[in-house]
Amino acid sequence: MSGRVEIEYCTQCRWLPRAAWLAQELLTTFEAELTELALKPGTGGVFVVRVGDEVVWDRREQGFPEPTAVKRAVRDRVAPGKSLGHSER
């Protein structure tokens, strides 16, 4: 599975800080597993997290993600079996 994560966020909604914070959380947790993390400016209320070409979180369907939920979704694709430590309890 791809070690590339993309966070597409709405520039009109000013969601860059939220996207950047989530990117930092993911890079900190998966620094050995991820090969790239991209922030992709978008419009129209978009906030989507992709691993490779697969959407793992879409704000329109699931609301804004808790970091732990996104970490689980990413972990299941890039590092199955990896413990997320205290954030998994």
Residue 66: band (very low, low, confident or very high) from pLDDT cuts 50, 70, 90: confident
Residue 2: band (very low, low, confident or very high) from pLDDT cuts 50, 70, 90: confident
Q: What CATH number was assigned to the domain covering residues 4-87?
A: 3.40.30.10
pLDDT of residue 85: 78
pTM for this predicted structure = 0.91
Residue 17, exposed/middle/buried by CB under 10 A (0-12, 13-18, 19+)?
Answer: exposed
